Amino acid sequence: MSDAVPKIEGHAAFYAHLKSGRVDKARIIGMENDRFVEKILFGRKYYEAPIITSRICGICPTIHNTTSTRAIEVACGINPSHQTINLRKLMLCGQMIQSHALHLYLLVLPDFVGASSSFELQKSHPDLFQNAIDLKQYTDKILDTIGGRAVHPISNVPGGFKSYPTASQITKLKQEGQKIKEIAEKTLRLFASFQYPKINQCVSYNALHSKSDYAYYDGDIKNTSGTVFMAKNYTNYIYEELKPYTRAKFGTLKGEEFMVGSMARLNVNFQYLDDDTKNIIAELKLHTKYDNPFENVIAQAIENYFFVVESIRLIEHFSTKGIDKEPVKPPKRFGKGTAACEAPRGTLFHHYEIDKNGYIINCDIITPTVQNLPPLELAMKKLGPIIKNKKPDERTQIIEMLIRAYDPCITCATH
Amino acid sequence: MNTFPKKSMAIFSLTSCEGCQFELLSFYDHFKELLRFYDIKNFRLGQEINLPGPFDVAIIEGSPDGEKQIDFLKQIRKQTKTVIAIGSCAHLGGIQSQRNRLPKKLIGKDPVKTVLDVINVDFVLPGCPISHTELINCLVDVYWGKVFTLPDTAVCFECKENENACRIKEDLPCLGPVTRGGCDSICVNKGEACLGCRGPLDQANFKKMREVLGTMLEDEEIENWLTIYGNYEKEHNKHE
């Protein structure tokens, strides 16, 4: 068993057994402790759920907050206004760009340019490092403006927003758009230029799907094998199981491994990308279908560009239409509610049951990493031909690169 | 050229969301300045080669859960000159400490401890997430051998400065009066109540706070409010 893998979110180790050129056993072992977030919500008021669940993860608090808010809204019979939905979409764009940019530049890039850490990268490639900082600061500004804080948003609550950005704040965001778009394009070109190890994992892919756009806020769940189901029926399709060697749960689609995340979203929703992004993909001759987990990195760089374009579109929308100070809508009833959103790492499910007095009596959260651990183990097993003639150090490095390409978030997986 | 000798720093994460580490990295320009004073020897989230102690400064995020993490924490204390606990998880137990009020049968584990329950720390930086300015200030002070102190005023003090309407006067619940300031009343500025993430003020009057909340919330809700990031009242009594 290895030590905790560096440069991933949370603590995890791996174990791979190589026998006559084949990896016959592969395990990924989450070393985080359970925090029982689902259980501690029991007996708390409905409005506390988004506040507490956003604390599941420090990289992706916004997506937990938004998914939780949406699920509570379903349970309370609240229909959020168009403006609320668009504000949340802008927040999610910020979340996606931030998570992708940090993962690409600070966690993955050092492997490709031969730096051992992000700090070393800063010394050896200051221009690349500055790109990461610029992207992060742009998203921090979006999250700060809309959600009230970069880590753990404040304003977004069931029923709407508790405070709204001013016109001048939106104008400030708008001024940065063009520069950030150029940086995102550079990022995509950079990551498309690297050579990636080649394996095919041959699994199916799950992502949100809607008939009109590149779904990330709302929609049904579509699998590349053809299965389509609604978020509220998720328990019939996604099974969670516990393994004896890890605290992280393993999620499967009726027992079959499947993958979620950037690759899955591109596989399911490629046609809904905007023309700008499609042109660059065509120019760089990138794939339109993905099955090599190492190329998850390219998929993230494509999405990074797409979400920058999307955020510019939404900011433009608010800057021309302005923002009304809508009051927060109160709950109409209490019952059951489920919602699914696309987190940077894949589809995230939140499910709540609320009693007649507004107290939560049941909660279930399925995070993307839970769904991604089974295909990750499968992909590790397929590394045999690549690593069999390498030295132990290099083997570890390639396995770590694979784990990192998957972008697991162990703190989420063991919430 | 570096004219000052650098001190060694390590950043460790126990059971938590790792959000405070990200708060440290936000406003990277400030963090870059910090690297003039500190060499980061151990930081698993950011670098591959992580060296063992001794360290001059260790930053600890999260609550220790289980024997392994408790032993690890004690070991860090032995190796380090200055230990700084950051965030509500290290300070009060964090959101996971809410499980302390659930029946043990349901959880099957020991109650959540805080870093302060296990070791003595030199400084505590409260908040969920921490205030990034406060952490930078603290680290600069530590470098120059100054004693960093937290503000001993309630959140209400800053809230008034920010000209917010008082929530309690409008019959809306708020924990501002019993919570230590220093956060620039960020939550109230954004329309949310203060939920006490920075822990109790030294002179907090919980009896009066309960009385005030009693007119706005149900009894069960009051208990919930006072335990979101840890049991504030218990924490307060511990230090009296």
Concatenating the DSSP letter of every residue in B68-81 gives HHHHHHHHHHHHEE
Q: Over 60: is that where the pLDDT of B1 sits? A: no
- CA pair distance B60, B27, nearest whole angstrom: 20
Q: How does pLDDT run across A336-357, given as a tens digit for each residue?
A: 999 999 999 999 999 999 999 9
A59 → closest Cβ in B22, B44, B69:
B22
Q: How much of chain B, in percent, has pLDDT values that exceed 90?
A: 61
A148 touches chain B (CB under 8 A): yes
What pLDDT is recorded for position A298?
93
Residues in chain A within 8 Å Cβ distance of B224: 43-45, 48
The answer to whether A36 faces chain B, any CB pair under 8 Å, is yes
Task: Please determine, for residue A121, whether its predicted confidence score (pLDDT) is greater than 90.
Answer: no
What pLDDT score was predicted for residue A190? 93
pLDDT reading at A384 higher than 60: yes
Gap from B98 CA to chain A (nearest CA, Å): 6
Amino acid at A305: Y
Q: Mean pLDDT across chain A, nearest whole number?
A: 89
**pLDDT at A68 (0 to 100):** 96
- Cross-chain Cβ contact B95/A4 below 8 Å: no
Secondary structure (3-state) at A90: helix
**Which distant-in-sequence residues (6+ apart) come within 8 Å of A388 by Cβ?**
A18, A21, A22
Higher pLDDT, B51 or B211: B211
User: Does the structure show a pLDDT above 70 at B126?
Assistant: yes
pLDDT band for position A265 (cuts 50, 70, 90): very high
Q: Tens of pLDDT along A89-113?
A: 999 999 999 999 988 988 888 888 8
pLDDT given at position B31? 83
Q: Identify which of B18, B95, B109 has the shortest CB distance to residue A9.
A: B18
pLDDT at B35 (0 to 100): 85
Strand partners, A253: A238, A256
CB A139 within 8 A of CB A90: no
Task: Dig out the tokens for A141 from the structure.
Answer: 């500004």
Say yes or no for a CB contact (<8 Å) between B47 and A120: yes
Report pLDDT for B26: 75
Average pLDDT over residues B164-186: 94
The DSSP bridge partners found for residue A366 are: A349
pLDDT attached to residue A27: 81
Q: With 80 as the cut, is the pLDDT of residue A118 above it?
A: no
pLDDT above 70 as % of chain A: 100
Transcribe A357-369 into DSSP letters: TSBEEEEEEE-HH
Chain segment A12-43, per-residue pLDDT in tens: 788 878 777 777 777 877 777 778 888 889 88
Cis bond before residue A61 (omega within 30° of 0): no
Cis upstream peptide for B129 (omega within 30°): yes
pLDDT at A272: 93
Instruction: Give the pLDDT confidence of A201-237 residue by residue, as tens digits.
Output: 888 999 999 988 899 999 999 999 888 999 999 999 9
- For A291, A305, A318, B15, B126, the CA distances from B20, given in Å and listed in that order, are 35, 27, 31, 12, 10
Nearest chain B residue to A99 by CA: give it. B22
Residues 38-57 of A with CB under 8 A from B: 39-40, 42-45, 48, 51-52, 55-57
B145 Cα to chain A: minimum distance (Å): 26
Decide which of A384 and A102 is more confident: A102
> What is A98-165 written as a DSSP string?
HHHHHIIIIIIHHHHHT-SBHHHHHHH-HHHHHHHHHHHHHHHHHHHHHHSSSSS-SSEETTEESS--
Cα–Cα distance, B148 to B135 (Å, whole number): 10
Quick one: pLDDT band at residue A2, thresholds 50, 70, 90? low
> In this complex, which of B15, B26, B189 lies closest to A33 when CB atoms are compared?
B15
Quick check: A9 contacting B, CB < 8 Å? yes
Domain boundaries, chain B: 7-143, 155-238
Q: Classify domain B7-143 by CATH architecture.
A: 3-Layer(aba) Sandwich (3.40)
Candidates A6, A36, A117; nearest CB to B107:
A36
- CA of A153, closest CA in chain B: separation in Å? 9
What is the pLDDT, as a whole number, of residue B2?
59
Q: Mean pLDDT score of chain B, rounded to an integer? A: 89
Instruction: Report yes or no: B186 at the A interface, CB cutoff 8 Å.
Output: yes
* Mean pLDDT, range A325-332, rounded to an integer: 94
Q: Is the pLDDT of residue B3 over 70?
A: no
Instruction: Sort out which chain B residues have CB atoms less than 8 A from A59's CB and list them.
Output: 18-19, 22
Which residues on B lie below 8 Å from A157 (Cβ)? 192
Residue B193 scores a pLDDT above 80: yes
pLDDT at A200: 86
Mutation choice for B interface testing from A8, A55, A102, A112 by most B CBs within 10 A:
A55
Q: Tell me the HSE value of B78 on the side-chain side, using a 13 A CA sphere.
A: 7
| Closest residue in B to A44 (Cα–Cα) | B224
Please report, for chain A, the start and end positions of each structural domain, with discontinuous segments joined by +. Answer: 12-413
Q: What is the pLDDT of residues A128-182, one digit of tens each?
A: 888 988 999 999 999 999 999 888 999 999 999 999 999 999 999 999 999 999 9
pLDDT (tens digit per residue) in B13-35: 888 888 898 888 777 788 888 88
d(CA B167, CA B170): 5
- CA pair distance A301, A185, nearest whole angstrom: 9
For the domain A12-413, what is the CATH superfamily, name and number? Answer: Cytochrome-c3 Hydrogenase, chain B (1.10.645.10)
Note which residues in 339-398 of chain A have CB less than 8 A from chain B.
359
* pLDDT mean over A362-391: 86
Give the per-residue pLDDT at A414.
78
- Nearest by CB: A4 against B43, B44, B95: B44
Candidates A56, A137, A140; nearest CB to B17: A56
